[in-house]
């Protein structure tokens, strides 16, 4: 039976789950939830995801929300050992990143939401503490480089030899840096990591829609982003 994925291609955690479904050759059907039309808040969808968020999945009787829960479930169910090892110590090492991600790397999306997305699409005023928020973001990006990429020593998060679910979730957030037009020269290890991850065709593929969207409304989009997505 195919996994039913409820998602939106602009949503970072949705893309992470989609990437694993594709890379893991897991049979699946896609159900696009239009966030602009508030489809995430319909009573029908809330039976699947009571938080009113994407992504969520239905696997027969099993209904799950929260992307990291879904990623671990799929990797375990389909025995995708290289994406999420069965060894509990290795799992715990990866879980460190997965937990940090929600309040760490996810700052990228929260910053893009408050300073780009809401003002542009909903006419909402950007917060006044811009300098403070961008300083905080800079701290998180440098922490990502140092702690998880070992300042360039690690090809993949925490030195795993191949991309894991930690990398799948991370890259989806990092691509959102494009919306902020951040200069990647400030983060050389992150830049290198983006190059590596986006050289995987399936990973690039899941970001095409979101990138097209970014290209449409970002003035003076940096050439380095276009190069990464070519
Ligand atoms: N921690 C959740 C985050 C899910 C989330 O924030 N999804 C956003 C899209 S990226 C959403 O569905 N937002 C709906 C809304 O804001 O109403 C996960 O990892 O799945």
Q: Which of 42, 77, 112 is the last residue of a domain?
A: 77
What is the percent of the chain with per-residue pLDDT over 70, rounded to a whole number?
Answer: 100
Tell me, using a 6 A CB cutoff, whether residue 52 lines ligand 1: yes
By alpha-carbon position, which residue is closest to atom 16 of ligand 1?
Answer: 53
Same domain, 201 and 222: yes
The number of the ligand 1 atom at minimal distance from the alpha carbon of 38 is 17
pLDDT band at 1 (very low <50, low <70, confident <90, very high): confident
Q: What is the pLDDT of residues 76-89, one digit of tens each?
A: 999 999 999 999 99
**Mean residue pLDDT across the chain:** 97
- Check whether 217 has a pLDDT greater than 90: no
Please check whether residue 82 lies inside any domain of the structure. Answer: no
- Check whether 54 has a pLDDT greater than 90: yes
Tell me, using a 6 A CB cutoff, whether residue 13 lines ligand 1: yes
Please check whether residue 83 lies inside any domain of the structure. Answer: no
By alpha-carbon position, which residue is closest to atom 2 of ligand 1?
Answer: 66
pLDDT band at 7 (very low <50, low <70, confident <90, very high): very high
Tell me, using a 6 A CB cutoff, whether residue 67 lines ligand 1: yes
By alpha-carbon position, which residue is closest to atom 9 of ligand 1?
Answer: 11
Q: What is the CATH number of the domain that holds 43?
A: 3.40.30.10
Tell me, using a 6 A CB cutoff, whether residue 164 lines ligand 1: no
State the pLDDT at residue 150.
98
Q: What is the mean pLDDT of residues 119-125?
A: 94
Same domain, 72 and 101: no
- Check whether 182 has a pLDDT greater than 90: yes
Which of 17, 31, 54, 97 for mutating ligand 1's site (highest number of atoms within 8 Å of CB)? 54
Q: What is the pLDDT of residues 186-210, one digit of tens each?
A: 999 999 999 999 999 999 999 999 9
- Check whether 219 has a pLDDT greater than 90: no
Q: What is the 3-state secondary structure (H, E, C) of the chain?
A: CCEEEEECCCCHHHHHHHHHHHHCCCCEEEEECCCCCCHHHCHHHHCCCCCCCCCEEEECCEEEECHHHHHHHHHHHCCCCCCCCCCHHHHHHHHHHHHHHHHCCCHHHHHHHHHHHHHHHHCCCCCCCHHHHHHHHHHHHHHHHHHHCHHHCCCCHHHCCCCCHHHHHHHHHHCCHHHHCCCHHHCHHHHHHHHHHHCCHHHHHHHHHHHHHHHHHCCCCCHHHHHHHC
Please check whether residue 73 lies inside any domain of the structure. Answer: yes
Distance, CA 164 to ligand 1 centroid (Å)? 21
The number of the ligand 1 atom at minimal distance from the alpha carbon of 68 is 19
What is the percent of the chain with per-residue pLDDT over 90, rounded to a whole number?
Answer: 96
Q: What is the pLDDT of residues 123-160, one digit of tens each?
A: 999 999 999 999 999 999 999 999 999 999 999 999 99
pLDDT band at 218 (very low <50, low <70, confident <90, very high): confident
Distance, CA 115 to ligand 1 centroid (Å)? 18
Distance, CA 61 to ligand 1 centroid (Å)? 23
Tell me, using a 6 A CB cutoff, whether residue 9 lines ligand 1: no
Same domain, 112 and 34: no
Same domain, 45 and 133: no
State the pLDDT at residue 197.
98
State the pLDDT at residue 160.
98
Tally of domains within the chain: 2
- Check whether 73 has a pLDDT greater than 90: yes
Q: What is the mean pLDDT of residues 15-21?
A: 98
Distance, CA 53 to ligand 1 centroid (Å)? 4
The number of the ligand 1 atom at minimal distance from the alpha carbon of 53 is 12
């Amino acid at each position: 039976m195919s996994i039913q994925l409820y998602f939106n291609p602009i949503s970072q955690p949705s893309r992470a789950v989609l990437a694993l479904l594709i890379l893991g050759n897991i049979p699946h059907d896609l159900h696009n939830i239009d966030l602009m039309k508030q489809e995430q808040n319909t009573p029908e969808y809330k039976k699947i995801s009571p938080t009113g968020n994407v992504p969520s999945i239905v696997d027969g009787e099993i209904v799950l929300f929260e992307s990291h829960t879904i990623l671990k479930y799929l990797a375990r169910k389909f025995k995708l050992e290289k994406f999420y090892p069965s060894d509990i110590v290795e799992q715990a090492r990866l879980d460190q990143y997965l937990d940090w991600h929600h309040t760490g790397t996810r700052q990228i999306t929260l910053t893009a939401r408050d300073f780009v997305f809401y003002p542009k699409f909903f006419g909402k005023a950007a917060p006044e503490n811009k300098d403070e928020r961008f300083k905080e973001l800079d701290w998180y990006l440098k922490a990502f480089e140092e702690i998880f990429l070992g300042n360039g020593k690690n090809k993949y998060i925490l030195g795993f030899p191949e991309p894991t679910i930690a990398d799948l979730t991370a890259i989806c957030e990092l691509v959102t840096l494009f919306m902020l037009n951040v200069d990647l020269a400030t983060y050389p290890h992150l830049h290198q990591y983006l190059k590596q991850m986006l050289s995987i065709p399936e990973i690039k593929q899941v970001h095409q829609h979101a990138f097209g969207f970014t290209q449409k409304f970002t003035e003076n989009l940096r050439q380095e982003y276009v190069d990464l997505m070519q």
